[in-house]
Amino acid sequence: MKKLHFCYGHRLPGNSGKCSTLHGHNAVVEVHATPLATSENQNLAELNSQGMVIDFSVIKEKIGSWIDEHWDHTTILAEQDVETVQLLRQCPGVKNPFLLPGNPTAENLANYLLHVVCPRELKRTGIVVHKIVFWETDSCFAEESLDPYSESARNYYE
């Protein structure tokens, strides 16, 4: 498991509480990986020749770099939050917001990492990311997981 840290801002339109206003978090993402089971070795996923699932530096390089480029010190907004997107794009020196298909909740961010970012960035590395734990604060997290031995997991990563 590799932990990645970053800062981001967001808001949750339609939320009846404080989260409807722009605010920020110091997030921690846990990336849980296991060796990829291929169609030949079905459930017999193996460690690499060095006795590891993967060198943690690969996860840092691939997923950490993606987070640094797209989410770190960025405002993450729902695609439908048109007014806030337009407002931020008018501010000089402000990084363009990252647009998510749904509200930028911890649950949706974990889901996006697990099902979009990790498969794209770690395809053909011999691993499958089977769980993302997205810590929005020190005491609040969301978890998204998939069966690493499923056909869909193999399709994501082969």
Catalytic residues: 19, 73, 136
Q: What single string gives the DSSP state of each residue in 93-104?
A: TPPPPEEESS--
141 and 113 in contact (C-beta within 8 Å)? no
7 and 26 in contact (C-beta within 8 Å)? yes
Number of H helices, E strands in the chain: 6, 6
C-alpha to C-alpha distance for 81 and 13, rounded to whole angstroms: 7
Q: Which of 69, 74, 39, 32 is nearest to 53 (CA)?
A: 32
In sequence order, the 6+-apart residues with CB closer than 8 A to the CB of 85 are 77, 97, 99
